[in-house]
Structure 1
Amino acid sequence: MNRPDIFRLNIGISKQTFQSLFGKDKINVRDYNFTTLDMIMPHPEYAQYHFICVLSPSEKTFEKICSLLAEAYNIAVRRYASQNKGSEINTE
């Protein structure tokens, strides 16, 4: 990842969505080449928490992950709300 103009997008998604992408079996991160660009993969450190990653996603790949970003946002909003009961939050 230590290459010019390369970035990693990390996204925390639901267990159900994670399993729909990678199956229900335990993920062996050694099966993935984490230097590959533009490929949706389980996160090398946080796959067990249902995180995925993509190195420098292309426009086409980004279109695929927009729904995953929306899901991650909704998960974050729900977690924040449950941790801050009684606080008003704006989700728009």
Structure 2
Amino acid sequence: DDSLRRFVTFEPRANVAMSVNLLVEPTRSDADAGFIVLQADRAHPMSGSNCICVVTALLESGRVPMSEPETVVRLDTPAGLIVARAACRNGQ
């Protein structure tokens, strides 16, 4: 069923140039969170720029604890496990 993707990526809520990062519980025990990239054309297995957005949101919202100067965040994606290293300073 593709209705959720169409609902969040088509007008009037979005447009063809936008994407949605759907945060989900990870299926892997070694991941902090999971996410799926939804775009107007399809669901994508991975996107580097979307990964940066997800890591930033997880850290700044407190969903994943931040530790300075670097925090490692593990993301479960349809493309596999992504390990991101975020440079952290002054709570950002």
Give the structure with the larger strand fraction.
2
Give the structure with the larger helix fraction.
1
Q: Find the structure with the greater CA-based Rg.
A: 1
Alignment TM class, shorter chain as reference: under 0.3
TM-score normalized by the length of structure 1: 0.28
TM-score normalized by the length of structure 2: 0.28
Q: Which has the higher contact order (CA 8 A, sep 6+)?
A: 1
